[in-house]
Structure formats: C-alpha cells, structure tokens
Amino acid sequence: MTKAGVDQVRDRLLGSHHEPDPGQVTRAVRETSSPLGDRDLITLERDARAELLGAGPVLQPLLDDPRVTDVLVNADHGVWVDRGDGLRRVPAAGLGDIRTLATRLAAVAGQRLDDAAPVAEGRLPDGTRLHAVLAPLSAEGALISLRTVRRRAFRLAELVEDGFLDDRSAQILAQLVRVRANVLVSGATGSGKTTLLASMLSLVPPNERIVCIEEAAELAPDHPHVVHLQVRRPNVQGVGGIGLDYLVRTAMRMRPDRLVLGECRGAEVREVLGALNTGHDGGLATVHANAATDVPARLAALGTLAGLSPAAVAIQALSAFDAVVHLRRTEGRRHVDQVAVLSPDGGDGMRCEVAMGRDGLGGWRWGPGWPALAERLDAAR
C-alpha cells in the first residue's frame, strides 16, 4: 500500500513542473490519501518525503541517525555505514536497482547522471552530500557515497568525551581561538577536519562575524553570526562556474572577523595566504595531508596551481599560519594527533616542527616547535 501511495503522490506532484518541497509533499499526501487512518497517513508521509526529497525509505533512516557520518552503497547492494568507529556493513533489503537509485538521488540533488555524464556530485535537500558514479567508470557498477551534515556542532567537551580530544589538547585549541591565532587543520579524508572546525568556531565571541567559504556549505558552528559562501559549478556548456578563489576575494569585502576556508585544495591558496597576511587574524582553513610534517609540501604543490613558487608560498605561509593541527584516524577512531608550527628550513622553504604529538601511551610528547607555539598561546595574556 505504501509504495502505491508514494507513486500516487509522485504522479500528483509531476504537474507542478518544479522540484517539490516538504510542504508540497505533505499537501499531496493528504489530497491523495483521504481513506487512510492517522497512523497510515503518517507512515505514507514519512515514506513519501524519504522517496521524493531524501535518500529513500531504506537509506534515509540511516542518514537520520545522528551518529552516522557516511553511508556507502555498492553495486552488489552492500551498504556500509560509519558511525564514528569505522565502516560496518548493515542489512539493507529493498534498495532495488542501484543505478536507478543513483540516478534518482542525482535528480533530487539537481544533477544529471547518465551514460554521457557518469559522475554526479550534489546536495540532497537535507544537506547530505552525494557522490555517485556509474559503469564503466566503476568496474562493479553504480556506486553511491553519502556524507551527512551535522546540524549542531560538537562542543569541545563532547569531543573530549568521545576521545577525539583530551583535556590538554582541548585547552590548547580553545586558547588558539581566544588569542585569534590563524590555524590550519590537516588530515586525511574522514579524519574529522570539518567536525573540529565547527567546534572551534563555536568558541568565537558572539559579537564577531564568521564568513565560511566552502565547496558546499557544511560548517554549522553554534554561533549567532555565521554566513556561508559556496561554489557554483559550471552548467552543461561548461560556463558560469564560480570557484573558491573568487569567493575568498568576495569574502574579504564582507567585513569578516573570522575568515574560514572549508578546504584548501587549489589555486585559492593564493587568496587565503594573502587574506591572512593582511590583518585577517583568527582565520581557519583545512588541507589534506598525511602528517603535519607533510603540510609544507602540500602547500607548495597547491601554490604551483596558482602560479606561486615554493619560496613565495613559504614566505607567505610562515607569516599566515600560527599553528597546524593534524588529525588522524586510527582503528576507526578520529583524534588530534599533532599540533605543530611552520618555521624556515634554512633555505627558501619551510618545514613543520611538531610542538606536541601523541606518545602512543595516551599522553603527549613535546617537540621542537613547542616554544614557538607557547609564545603564541601567551600572546594575549
């Protein structure tokens, strides 16, 4: 009965020629299901919303679980879920054809997915990030990756309870925000960079304006004055795109007290380094790197995309960033692994000196970068 009811709701909405919103789905449910009792009506509305606005009745409950960060669907109907402790396979009967599901999700996200465009990226109406790929790019067949967006930032105390931080590292991160240090958060995909950024931004005084620049808006700090800029992808003719580099320049004209770049991955590194060297202190950014000591090479590589020499990147980065916080995922658990500082390497480049790193026994080992970090932490005292 529910599937037939959802089909009736879909047919009714087809006449609007617009993507449905939650209110339209609710009205369509009530207009097409008058014989139903209250309980069946609630069930139909839930399933219709999941099917027409979300990831469907099988996947949407997984995405609604506040512990879930990722839901991955493989062509063999295998569904894998990460609840913060690594990927685990879960039963998921009733998914149907995976290619059909991927195509529908892409359409819900306003994207095209077919043989001519076999890869799609977008956002579902609830903010969930979608990536889908079809054969032959995927040897196994259609693949779907869903990344949830947390609607409330973790407090640092919650990250301590979860083992992401300990008391010492939480105190240092809070002090970095307090003294308006510019912080670069590094780590691999899924290491918790966005999670930590949102938690740190929640500590920013309420009278400050935070401008977040992201490929797709994900950061949701607990703060009263946050605005977001996000990229616009080119249309099917390949025109009309607006990238992160342009958005960084735009953000500087928006009177930001804190400038935040969700991920530094290309030529926008030039604008970010320029902004953080022109009085925009208290900024935050993230970058992909395997270790804190790999950050200089990563920044240099990004700089070449913007036409900057490694020496030019080093000069700007040394004065732009006060600290590097590196995150690692170990046995499925995410945690802060190192806090470091950038320093000259004796030539035209730079190196990353660890100030504090995990000692393997649950504590910290102090490194050569500690005096410089301690000096910056004491800047406002």
CATH code, residues 156-377: 3.40.50.300
The structural domains of the chain, with segments of one domain joined by +, span: 1-43, 66-149, 156-377
- Single-letter amino acid, residue 216: A
CB 170 within 8 A of CB 335: no
Cα–Cα separations (whole angstroms), residue 92 to 60, 61, 99, 351: 11, 11, 16, 48
pTM of the model: 0.79
Of the pLDDT bands very low, low, confident and very high (cuts 50, 70, 90), residue 301 is very high
Reported as a single tens digit per residue, the pLDDT across 62-118 is 988 888 989 999 988 899 999 877 889 998 877 788 998 899 899 888 888 999 999
- What average pLDDT does the chain have? 86
Cα–Cα separations (whole angstroms), residue 60 to 22, 56, 92, 212, 354: 15, 5, 11, 28, 42
**Rounded to an integer, what distance in angstroms lies between the CA atom of residue 276 and that of residue 258?**
10
What is the assigned CATH class of domain 66-149? Answer: alpha beta
Average pLDDT in the 141-151 region? Answer: 89
CB 105 within 8 A of CB 144: yes
Reported as a single tens digit per residue, the pLDDT across 206-252 is 999 999 999 888 888 999 999 999 988 777 677 888 988 899 999 99
